[in-house]
Structure 1
Amino acid sequence: MAFYQLSDGAELFYEDKGEGKPLVFIHGVWMSSRFFHKQVSYFEKKFRVITLDLRGHGASAKTNAGHTVAQYARDLRDLVRHLDLQDVTLVGWSMGAFVIWEYLHQFGDKGVLSTVIVDELASDFKWPDFEIGAFDLAALTSMMQGLQHDQKGLLRGFLPLMFKKDVSEEHLCWMLEETMKVPASIASAILFDQSIIDCRPYLNSIQCPTLLCFGREEKLIPVAAGEHLKKSIANSQLEIFEQSCHCPFLEEPEKFNRLIESFLTSLKVVNKNS
């Protein structure tokens, strides 16, 4: 466990385990690196695994400013350079996908071997020419108001929607604990920004190999979002997880982990056990 001081003085929490080609896991809005515990224990035996808490999330600094996807991408870039990562695979879940696309848009793909995108749309907003978006203005406004009036209640209702099957009280409790670490003011700010960002103009410029992982259950994100990304990103492949909703890495972790490992093997990634 470590903290890295960003250029504006904010401290970013991260963990760096294992040896070999680097995998960086980037969580979704309000979540944290803890959601990837089933990936860390698997991949650290063969790869260098980095997880981080984006600013305002988890154990990272709760700054008053900087809660945009664009800034989160700059924070990620700072950490990548600090750790001197080369041939990195960026794994982005939900909002983490936006962070990756913004990273590539700002800095290009030099040093990026590949990306893995987990259950996200090119934009969460229902634009007039993007009907598959997750939120319209009324839904976004309602969620932001809910965060201000009863953050815990909103999260208790939202978190089970990420899963196809019922969530036990034990699992709901640890997820609530993690997501409640984000102050309501920050939770509202980043929800707004990540919900209206539109990455469609960036997608056709992505050249690095991309694995798209989507859950069949459509409580939050439609499978059509993955099909749209496959058409938009040239060197991409789409995999559907039949027993998952928004969290295939938790719902079908063995399949998810094996799939990423197979994807990296197809790119001839050499790890320390090869």
Structure 2
Amino acid sequence: MPIVNLNHDVELYYEDVGMGSPVIFIHGVWMSSRFFKKQLPYFRQKYRAISLDLRGHGQSSHVQSGHTVANYARDLKHFIEKLQLRDVTLVGWSMGAFVIWEYLHQFGEENVKGTVIVDELASDFKWPDFEIGAFDLPTLTGMMRDIQTDHAGLLKGFIPLMFKEDLPQADLDWMLEETTKLPSSIASAILFDQSIVDCRPYLNGITTPTLLCFGREEKLIPVAAGEHLCREIPNAKLEVFEESCHCPFLEEPDQFNRVVDEFLKSLYK
């Protein structure tokens, strides 16, 4: 099993296929690298396609500490260094976008060729000056309590909200299997931190080319979030997927892969 050992005996599981320019896929909160199962077979034909499980998630170490977006960004830095990757493109879905922005904030853009942001807000929290945020305090508090009392029940209600169409039972089953690998203590800790991260102050300092991929269906994240990011990030382009909600890479994988591939071609030409 491919593993990278970080400091303090933390092991990150990853998949690494293909050859060429490296493209790293970073999943959302509670999720795993398995959610990119429709991307790696496509991108391995032209690129070195890599997906990893963040600490505490999937098959990575379920350590009880270090579960903040800022620390996940440091884990990503160590991961890139361990694999000696150069000129990477970072693809971040949901919380994965926060990890990318925090990485750029901490370490700069020197080793980053481009970024792909999939269906995320500049902040998930409804700050007084950010009404499009996904969570207010009562909602966030309720979710954290539900994680402690009915973790699987919460996920059974949450996962279908990520998709425009009804989810087949077989898909819901494997997604529940993946997302319940996290102990409840980790699931609630990282939910809180990623929900109150606010990346707005440094978005306008990002100069690396950025592709924004958003689903038209707004069960979780409004398209207005993508429009806001497109205004704030200087070198950004917005692509809206008409038949998707939160997971265009699973809901419209062929279209998603083509759009991202065209973006990558523009970076590496």
What are the Cα deviations for residues 154-212 of structure 1, in whole angstroms up to 9, with x where unaligned?
00000000000000100000000000001100000000000000000110110000000
DSSP-derived class of the 1:76 partner: helix
Give 1:71 shift: 0.4
For 1:147, give the aligned amino acid: I
DSSP-derived class of the 2:230 partner: helix
DSSP-derived class of the 2:38 partner: helix
Give 1:84 shift: 1.0
Q: Which residue of 1 aligns with 2:102?
A: 102
DSSP-derived class of the 1:229 partner: helix
Q: How many residues align?
A: 269
Percent identical pairs in the alignment equals 69
* 1:208-223 equivalent positions in 2, closer than 5 A: 208-223=208-223
DSSP-derived class of the 2:24 partner: strand
Q: Which residue of 1 aligns with 2:75?
A: 75
DSSP-derived class of the 2:39 partner: helix
Where do 5+ consecutive residues of structure 1 fail to align? Answer: none
For 2:163, give the aligned amino acid: F
Give 1:15 shift: 1.3
Q: Which residue of 1 aligns with 2:226?
A: 226
Q: Which residue of 2 aligns with 1:195?
A: 195
Q: Which residue of 1 aligns with 2:117?
A: 117
Give 1:9 shift: 1.4
* 1:19-168 equivalent positions in 2, closer than 5 A: 19-168=19-168
Large movers: runs of 4+ above 6 Å: none
Give 1:8 shift: 1.8
For 2:135, give the aligned amino acid: F
Q: Which residue of 2 aligns with 1:183?
A: 183
**RMSD, aligned CA:** 0.6
Aligned mates of 1:57, 1:86 — CA distance in 2: 25
DSSP-derived class of the 1:8 partner: helix
Q: 1:169 aligned to 2:169?
A: yes
Give 1:111 shift: 0.9
Aligned mates of 2:185, 2:64 — CA distance in 1: 9
For 2:94, give the aligned amino acid: S
What are the Cα deviations for residues 75-126 of structure 1, in whole angstroms up to 9, with x where unaligned?
0000001111111100000000000000000000011000000000000000
Q: 1:16 aligned to 2:16?
A: yes
For 1:78, give the aligned amino acid: H
What are the Cα deviations for residues 2-57 of structure 1, in whole angstroms up to 9, with x where unaligned?
11111121111111111000000000000000000000010011100111000000
Aligned mates of 1:130, 1:208 — CA distance in 2: 25
DSSP-derived class of the 1:24 partner: strand
For 2:58, give the aligned amino acid: G
Give 1:265 shift: 1.3
Aligned mates of 2:15, 2:172 — CA distance in 1: 23
Where do 5+ consecutive residues of structure 2 fail to align? Answer: none
With normalisation by structure 1, the TM-score equals: 0.97
What are the Cα deviations for residues 231-273 of structure 1, in whole angstroms up to 9, with x where unaligned?
0000000000000000000000000000011111122x15xxx
For 2:176, give the aligned amino acid: L
Aligned mates of 2:194, 2:142 — CA distance in 1: 15
For 1:198, give the aligned amino acid: D
